[in-house]
Amino acid sequence: MGLRFYIDADLLGVAKVLATVRSDVTFPGDPGGLGADGLNRPACTVKPSDKDVDWLGVVTGQGLTVITRDRHIRSRPAEKQAIVEHSARVITLDGRRGLRKWDQLEIIVTQWRKFEELSELPGPWVYTASRTGCRRFDLS
């Protein structure tokens, strides 16, 4: 199994935890390494300081599904254009109430099987994930 998910810099703490148990997850600045399953995870070329419009094409070009806390990524004109242009697959965490790391991790782990299903769908799309489910956001 290769990389499947890119966890955005706004979830860096959670990303580092996930990368210790899943070799199909990467994050900006990820040095790569041997995962808990014995598989080697390559280093990530994206830096935490890279702008969304710059890294979206990079990670989408690698076939990765994005997981982010940035719910505005779907509505900012340049970022929305990058999602459409690169046929990105983006999952945002429902953060209407401030999410602590534990809340972020809870949503991700609770919805992980759905994330795997969604990652098989062609982009462009944006879904918002909460503890109770995932809903699609209309990009038009």
Residue 29's domain comprises 5-137
Render each residue's pLDDT in the chain as its tens digit; 140 residues: 689 999 999 999 999 999 988 989 999 999 998 877 777 889 999 999 999 999 999 999 999 999 999 878 877 899 999 999 999 999 999 976 678 899 999 999 999 999 999 999 999 999 999 999 999 998 88
Number of domains in the chain: 1
Sheet arrangement for strand 65-68: 25-26, 5-7, 65-68, 89-93, 125-129, 134-137
- Segments in the chain forming alpha helices (H): 12-21, 52-61, 77-85, 101-118
> How far are the Cα atoms of 34, 73, 105, 118, 132 from residue 58, in angstroms, in the given order?
23, 16, 25, 19, 31
Q: Give yes or no for a contact between 137 and 126, defined as CB atoms under 8 angstroms apart.
A: yes
Helix (H) or strand (E) holding 123: none
